[in-house]
Amino acid sequence: MSVKGKHKIILIDPDPDTFERMQSFFDRDIIRIINFSSALIALDNIKDINPDIIISEFYTDDLTAAEAFNLIKSDIKYRTFRIIPFVVFTKSAANEKEDLINQGISGWFTKPFGSKELKEVIENLLLSSKYLEKTEVLEQQVKRSEYQYRDLLENANDFIFILDEKGIFKYLNNRFNSLTGWQKEQWLYKPFLSCIHPDDREKAETHYNMIHQGKARIFEARVLGNRDDIVVLSFNITPLFEKGSIIGSLGIARDVTEQKSMEREILELKNFNESIIQSMESGLLTLDLEGRITFLNRGGEKILLWHSREVTGRYLADLIGAEKAEKFLLPPSKSDPLSSRNEIEFEIESGKTVFIGFTITNRVDNNGKKLGTIVFFKDISLLKQMQSEVIRMDRLASLGVLASGIAHEIKNPLAGIKTMAQACQEEFDEEDSRMEYLTRIVRQVNRLDDLLKTFFAYARPKKPDRKPHDLKNIVLEVTRLLSKKMSTSGIECQENYQENLSPVLVDSQQMQQVLLNLILNSIDAMPQGGTIKISARTYRKQEKGNSYVLISIEDTGTGIPKEKIETIFDPFYTTKPAGLGLGLSIVYRIINEHNGEIVVESVEGKGTTFRITLPAGD
């Protein structure tokens, strides 16, 4: 065996013969031997020499080998040399051998011994020294790594722990203290599940059992703290294996209490906002940049008769047409960059026409980039109807004043004309040819007088004398008058009344006039015959509100063009060659005088329905 490299040996031996013998069989370029006869001097120079081996005669000039060895072991200034092999060469002091070996010397050799034997011993000691040095270095590295690893674990922001095969805590880092308020020593050798909140323990146990089946698990659970606050941890636990068997598990837990609290607050805020949006009677519609519907609230569903789940993801243009959809996608005006207000009319799936008033607002992200469009809208059909009613009432009032004035101015001259004509009739003989002219004059004056009476009925309608009446009796009076006309025209009249129908609070004469006008219009609209359906039912506008009677008069006639529906109640509007255009105007005024409502629905070519709402006479 050969030793390579520069090695140094301290030899403490007063006998120069030992030094000479060792010098003779070692290459000085490989091994350098420094000889001392004094152990104290040798130890004073040990730092400068930094030897690989110390070889000492048991008796030196000042200390024994035992004393020198113990000094190295006990004195702190020699601590870096404690691992150096210490060998005793001696001729005597055999009684000290056992004690020194027990104390850790590397060898005890008795003189004399052969050169070959001495060489092998020293070479082996050098190899041992090298091995010990490397071992020491490795041990130091391991210790440093262990310190670093432990420091890392102990000061980690996450709670790190080790469980044995029974789920008992074998290790907990310092984070456990700050998270729970417990000292980690209080929980060592206690079950992991016992620190879980009772409400979450069953869930945690389920995950722990899966870990013992060799599956890593991630789950959240509340832990029992030594404080009033509750801590929520996100656990990541991995099984530990040894020779194919699970010997425990390693866990890392992160505090997610604040995160869960924020999630809960966000969810509560989301639910709060959604409940507000969904409880709005107005509609809320959102569109993406391509015009696809992304959201529709319940108010919007009621207005448009759409189901959110059916229209979400569809293009608005496919539902209402490209031209109308474009209005919802127009950018806001420059004067009001946040929103734009508008109105639109379109038919919903039921065939009903609705007026929509809407406001457009850009939907933007945190950077102001447009993501889509928000449309707030509501059904303004009733408002539009009320506006039309106000305009119609204003027009009717104006025309009523005008008609009253004209009728008054015309009536007096007509009376004079009639009086003069009748006086002439008395003076002329019956055989006089001029009598025919006078008769025609009186007849035309009477006709004009009838027209003026109609004007007065429109301009100054009689205040209704409202009393409870049975609607069926009022209808019967009208149908008796018109039964022959309906039979001749091939028209069937069908009546349908709700059982226990409430009486109506009306002036019976005026209500007969209303029904007479409406039924006559229906007869005129069915020159080829058809059916008139008269029905009525009682209802309440609110749960505890007043009762009303809804009367429907429906025919199968020619219908009214859509563009003329709004004008049929206007004075002097008529489609009849000999009509005055005051019939429906008078009907409208009578219904209003009764605090009622009248509306009309018509489909050209299919028929018309008038619906009258009147207070019940309970």
Query: What CATH number does the domain located at 384-459 have?
Result: 1.10.287
311-329 confidence digits (pLDDT tens): 888 888 888 788 777 877 7
| Residue 276 pLDDT greater than 90, yes or no | no
DSSP per-residue letters across 519-549: HHHHHHT-TT-EEEEEEEEEEESSTTS-EEE
Residue 204 is predicted with a pLDDT of 92
Chain-wide mean pLDDT for the chain?
80
According to CATH, the topology of domain 281-379 is Beta-Lactamase (3.30.450)
Q: What percent of the chain has pLDDT over 70?
A: 81
Question: Range(s) for CATH 3.30.450.20 in the chain?
Answer: 159-260, 281-379
Average pLDDT score over residue span 462-470? 85
Instruction: Check: CB of residue 129 under 8 Å from CB of residue 51.
Output: no
- Burial class, 384, CB count within 10 angstroms (exposed 0-12 / middle 13-18 / buried 19+): middle
Residue 236 is predicted with a pLDDT of 92
Model confidence band, residue 1 (pLDDT cutoffs 50, 70, 90)? very low
Between residues 576 and 388, the one the model is more confident about: 388
Model confidence band, residue 335 (pLDDT cutoffs 50, 70, 90)? very low
Residue 536 is predicted with a pLDDT of 92
Residue 533 is predicted with a pLDDT of 93
List the single range of 135-139, 230-234, 351-355, 512-516 with lowest mean pLDDT: 135-139
Residue 206 is predicted with a pLDDT of 92
- Burial class, 335, CB count within 10 angstroms (exposed 0-12 / middle 13-18 / buried 19+): exposed
474-529 confidence digits (pLDDT tens): 999 888 888 888 888 899 999 999 988 999 998 888 888 888 888 888 888 898 88
Question: Range(s) for CATH 3.40.50.2300 in the chain?
Answer: 7-150
Scanning 347-492, the segments in alpha helix (DSSP H) are 381-427, 435-459, 471-488
Between residues 341 and 463, the one the model is more confident about: 463
Q: Which has the closest alpha carbon to 88: 102, 70, 108, 73?
A: 108
- The torsion angle over the Cα atoms of residues 99, 103, 109 and 111, rounded to 10 degrees, is -50
| Residue 140 pLDDT greater than 80, yes or no | no
Helix (H) / strand (E) element for 109: namely strand 107-110
List the single range of 82-96, 245-259, 324-338, 540-554 with lowest mean pLDDT: 324-338
Residue 56, phi then psi, degrees to nearest 5: -135, 135
The residue count of the chain comes to 618
Report, in angstroms and rounded to the nearest whole number, the Rg of the chain calculated over CA atoms.
57
Average pLDDT score over residue span 147-174? 82
Instruction: Check: CB of residue 26 under 8 Å from CB of residue 3.
Output: no
3-state secondary structure of 598: strand
| Residue 340 pLDDT greater than 70, yes or no | no
Average pLDDT score over residue span 457-472? 77
Residue 577 is predicted with a pLDDT of 46
According to CATH, the topology of domain 159-260 is Beta-Lactamase (3.30.450)
Residue 371 is predicted with a pLDDT of 84
List the single range of 76-85, 166-175, 320-329, 346-355 with lowest mean pLDDT: 346-355
- The torsion angle over the Cα atoms of residues 389, 391, 392 and 396, rounded to 10 degrees, is 130
Between residues 548 and 5, the one the model is more confident about: 548
Question: Range(s) for CATH 1.10.287 in the chain?
Answer: 384-459
Residue 572 is predicted with a pLDDT of 55
List the single range of 33-47, 251-265, 269-283, 302-316 with lowest mean pLDDT: 269-283
Query: What CATH number does the domain located at 7-150 have?
Result: 3.40.50.2300
List the single range of 245-259, 538-552, 576-590 with lowest mean pLDDT: 576-590
Give the Å distances, CA to CA, from 31 to 107, 142, 227, 554: 19, 31, 69, 129
Helix, strand, coil shares of the chain as percentages rounded to 5?
Answer: 45, 25, 30
Residue 130 is predicted with a pLDDT of 61
| Residue 605 pLDDT greater than 90, yes or no | no
What are the strands, taking DSSP E only, across 261-392? 283-288, 293-296, 339-347, 353-364, 370-379
Residue 458 is predicted with a pLDDT of 54
73-114 confidence digits (pLDDT tens): 888 888 888 878 888 888 766 677 888 888 878 778 777 766
The architecture (CATH level 2) of 467-615 comes to: 2-Layer Sandwich (3.30)
Assigned token pair, 513: 């006039």
Assigned token pair, 375: 């449309």
Handedness of CA 358, 290, 299, 264 (dihedral sign): negative
Residue 235 is predicted with a pLDDT of 92
| Residue 609 pLDDT greater than 90, yes or no | yes
